[in-house]
Amino acid sequence: MNPVSLPLPPLRRAAALVLLGALALGGAAGCSTAADSAPRTPQEQARESSPTGTPTATPASASASTATDVGWVQLMTPMNQQAVKLLTLAAARAAEPRVRDFAVRLRTGQKAELDRLRALLTRMGLPGTDVHAGHDMPGMVTVRDLEAARAAEGPAFDRLVLVQIRDHLRQSAQVSRSEITSGRRADARELAAALVTAREASLAELERLPGAGRALG
């Protein structure tokens, strides 16, 4: 997580940070909630109305996706995947029983989110491959982070887990709020809202865990 230890070349690292920043500041260029209020063409109005003139629901899977929607789901999926790896270590090795219990429950929640994120990728016609492989993004558990966790023991391991999971929860909540405000797809925004709610609850619980005060400052 320390920027000094990032393995990416400066230009590549900067590009990764710009992507996260774009989402956090309101989405990719040219994407805004204005698309939701754009005038409907006659063809669109006809598709959205029944023969009686009563509006019918448009399936979320048929919604147009903006760059914000795509960027969010392609970032959140590997963020959850990497967090699950660290939580799996914590569930088995944390010195404090309450940290272990927290890791087990959070891992279950993150896996459930992964199922929904992967289903969303499929509905959007996006590949399941990690487009951020090799990138160091804020809140992303990296290969180096996992190596450091495997090498740590006892309270030092617990502190490392608490810091990295705290960062993961904070950053993924931040980019998910940007999807809520700047994304267009109803199903993506609904999932983003669920993620934010879950992360806020998890952060509150994490900060009450033994050792959290010292680890998190």
Q: State CA 46 to chain mean position distance.
A: 36
Distance CA 118, CA 121 (A): 5
Classify residue 165 by burial, with Cβ atoms within 10 Å: 0-12, 13-18, 19+: buried
CA atoms within 13 Å, Cβ hemisphere of 52: 3
Task: Examine the pLDDT at 30 and tell me if it is beyond 70.
Answer: no
Per-residue confidence (pLDDT) for residue 19, from 0 to 100: 54
Long-range contacts of 138-141 (CB under 8 A, 24+ apart): 138/17, 138/20, 138/167, 138/171, 139/20, 139/79, 139/167, 139/168, 139/169, 139/170, 139/171, 139/172, 139/174, 140/78, 140/79, 140/82, 140/168, 140/171, 141/79, 141/82, 141/83, 141/85, 141/86, 141/168
Model confidence band, residue 216 (pLDDT cutoffs 50, 70, 90): confident
Per-residue confidence (pLDDT) for residue 2, from 0 to 100: 37
Residue-wise pLDDT for 72-131, tens only, equals 999 999 999 999 999 999 999 999 999 999 999 999 999 999 999 999 999 999 988 777
Taking the complete model, does pTM exceed 0.85, yes or no?
no
Per-residue confidence (pLDDT) for residue 211, from 0 to 100: 83
Q: What share of the chain has pLDDT > 70, as a percent?
A: 69
Q: Mean of the pLDDT values across residues 55-72?
A: 67
Mean pLDDT, the chain, integer = 78
Residue-wise pLDDT for 37-59, tens only, equals 334 444 444 344 334 443 333 34
The helix/strand/coil state of 49 is: strand
